[in-house]
Amino acid sequence: MIGKIAYRLALAAVLAVGAGAAGPIPASEAAQAEAGALQKLIDEAPHGSTVVLPAGDYDGELVVDKPLVVQGEGVTLHSGAADKPAVAVRADFASISGLSIVKDSGGEAAAVLVEGDGVRVEGLRIVTRTIGIQLQESDGSVIRNNAVEATPELLGRSARASERRNGIDLYRSHGNTIENNRVSSMFDGIYLEGSNNTAVRGNVVDFSRYGVHLMYTRNTEVEGNRGSHNVTGIMAMVSRGGTIAGNAFKLQKGSVNSQGMLFYEVEDMQVTGNELVGNRVGLYIERSANNVWMGNDVSYNFVGIQLLDSADNELAGNRFVSNVIETMADGSAGNRIEGNYWDAFQGLDPNGDGKSDLAYPMNPFFQRLTKDTPAFQLFFQSPGMKFLEGLMAADSADWTRDRAPLMEQPALAGAADSAAEPAASGATATAGAALLLAASTIILLGVRKR
Amino acid sequence: MNAVHVARREIKLGFRNPWSYSFLVLFTIFSLLLLLIGAQSPGGGYTSTTGSMLSLILYLLPLMTLLIGSFSLTAEKEEGSWQLLAVYPLRTSSFVFGKYAGLSLVLGAIVAFAFGASGVAGALAGGGFDLRTLLLFLVFSLLLVLLYLAVALLIGTVAANRWQALTYAVAFWFFTVIGWPTLLIASLGYLPYLWIKPALTALTLLNPAELVRLFVVVRLGGGSILGPDYYRWVEVMAGGWGPLLFAGICLAWIAGAGGIAVWAWERGRRHG
């Protein structure tokens, strides 16, 4: 107990002097009976060596403040301190791998805090009520093969956002790689703020708020990530440059604000070959310019694409199939939109070049109506709404339009051919026969003379 | 004599009526067409395919129901059979309820026959509806029949003859199915902004087409598209008590329209 207090005082003193530059904490002062033993191993190891932590369950927190390779296969670390991360990596070029971490303290301290540059965090399993892995001004680090999930009572269901923290959180950290991690039931799966040149590849995020959230970033490369049941798959806001390619986000339709991908004030981004299937809105684009959306598969969403007040973008070779409403576009006449496939559009191709000579105009009536009065959203796909839209089609000069829509679906890698499982025709046939029989019986009873 | 007699007579009359058979053929062909549309892009849940099928059913079925239902009542007046029935010790409510039950069975048989045929045809040809979709459309159609039939009785009561009934029926169909958004957007625009949503919600409860359509959309998992304004309604309707609550609303609707019909019919009987 006294040791614990001493450790806290020491830590407070160290933090007051300046966090990143903390010297090694003397083993005698490090407390927490069991985690203290691990800390001692770390403290005693020479610079650049490998420390293999002995397997077992430990209570407490660890600090890595010199370039070590810390391996913790079979180690489970429980941290209940609200003000300290379970593992703090303060040194440049340190690495940590293999641990299981349970951080059920709440509070603001992350499960794993990385402050050094060139750090590797690999193969951790983190169950946490706070941020999973947090990078603060860390450059050139690699976060790979980790699993971050919420504590069991929050897993797999939609909880209040205030109960959750981000899975992997980068703040003013540049040139990092976030690869093959799995995040479930957190706030934002992977959150980048003011961080440039990050590669986010092959991660899986589900049951969280946003899958990948970019805020004020530049040149982020988001590739091959997957997710489902989030509010939004990829949320790019006020960001420039980079690519978003080959990601797949599905079934994000539970929330009234959900979508596959959202772009707000985004510039110079290449968005290619993504799959957005079964979401409330497939692609939501607002006030963005000079981006390219190409070869994306947007299918089975309630709204295919919502395109608002955007200009100078290119939208080509995308596939829009079986969306309840294909487009809600307004104020976006100044884009190069050409050669997309819209299954609800009947084109005309007299010269046989595979592109329609008729343009596909996008009626902005419903978008304008519901923007002014959201209550009218109740008329979504009402048969009378289509009638009214038809009446309001006179002034179509300023509409957004696809100049030359494709006549046939483009072949896209990984395109969803069908969201359905093969129909069980036996059951349908039986039910159909039963219905026929019942109907015929009623009819016969009716016409029978008696 | 009681409601059961009236209902049985109604079924008998219904299936001797050539109108019923032309609607039977029409709706069967129509549901086979839905099958073809559905086969083009299969998929569960709320997609463009299920959305357009709902719209197509909304175009045809309410009109069919209104015509068959209201004509059945005006025929009683025009052909003099009501004058005959009125001398029997038959309560007006039994008469109207019997009519309603009988006509429900006639229309239900037509709808069941059509979906049964397309279910069998789809299964034989391969790639038809899956069972869930078939049943959902069946329920959707039956709900439309039940609600619009109550209105049809009201129209049949008010109208003096077939031609009046035709006019009223088409008008009601047009304003509830086709002209509804136009009507509401135009008229609610004059209300203060904060009144629009409550007014819209209340008016939607009065429109059987929108009521049933929205319920089915929510049950298909499409509730989130209605936006944050209707979050609570959607949550309730999508939940376990949703169908029960909705059944309650439908019953209230039918009882309301039917009650007015009984009252008006009774008044006509007294005052001759």
Residues of chain B with pLDDT under 70: 41-44, 127-128, 272
Whether residue A101 contacts residue A111, with contact meaning beta carbons closer than 8 Å, is answered with yes
**What is the mean pLDDT of the segment spanning A35-42?**
91
Among partner residues A344, A384, A386, which is closest to B48 by beta-carbon distance?
A344
Q: Scanning every residue of chain A, which has its alpha carbon at the shortest distance from the alpha carbon of B178?
A: A384
Tell me if A435 and B128 make a contact (CB, 8 A cut-off): no
CA–CA distances in Å: residue A254 to residues A260, A348, B234: 12, 37, 11
Counting DSSP H helices and E strands in chain A, the numbers are 5, 39
Burial group, residue A373, by CB count within 10 angstroms (0-12, 13-18, 19+): middle
Pairing of strands A297-299, A232-245: unpaired
Residue B77: CA atoms inside 13 Å, Cβ hemisphere, count? 20
Q: Which residues of A touch B112 (CB under 8 A)?
A: 435-436, 438-439
Tell me if B45 and A254 make a contact (CB, 8 A cut-off): no
Q: Which residues of A touch B120 (CB under 8 A)?
A: 429, 432-433, 436
- Residue A416 pLDDT > 80: no
- Residue A418 pLDDT > 90: no
Q: Which residues of A touch B132 (CB under 8 A)?
A: none
**From the CB of residue A10, how many other CB atoms can be counted at a distance below 10 Å?**
16
B221 touches A at CB < 8 Å: yes
Amino acid, res. A335: N
Considering only CA atoms, give the Rg of chain A: 28
Structure confidence by residue, pLDDT tens digits, A110-141: 999 999 999 999 999 999 999 999 999 999 99
pTM for this prediction: 0.88
pLDDT band at residue A18, thresholds of 50, 70 and 90?
A: very low
Tell me if B15 and A446 make a contact (CB, 8 A cut-off): yes
B101 touches A at CB < 8 Å: no
Q: Scanning every residue of chain B, which has its alpha carbon at the shortest distance from the alpha carbon of A385?
A: B181
- pLDDT at position A107, please? 85
Say what the ipTM of the complex is. 0.89
**What is the mean pLDDT of the segment spanning A183-189?**
94
Among partner residues A369, A385, A442, which is closest to B105 by beta-carbon distance?
A442
List Cβ neighbours of A391 (8 Å cut-off, separation of 6 or more): B182
**What is the mean pLDDT of the segment spanning A345-360?**
92
Among partner residues A280, A383, A437, which is closest to B225 by beta-carbon distance?
A280
Query: What tokens appear for A445 in the block?
Result: 């009873």
Which of B5, B12, B25, B48 would you mutate first to test chain A, the one with the most A CBs within 10 A? B48
Q: Which residues of A touch B180 (CB under 8 A)?
A: 379, 382, 384
- pLDDT at position B42, please? 65
- pLDDT at position A22, please? 36
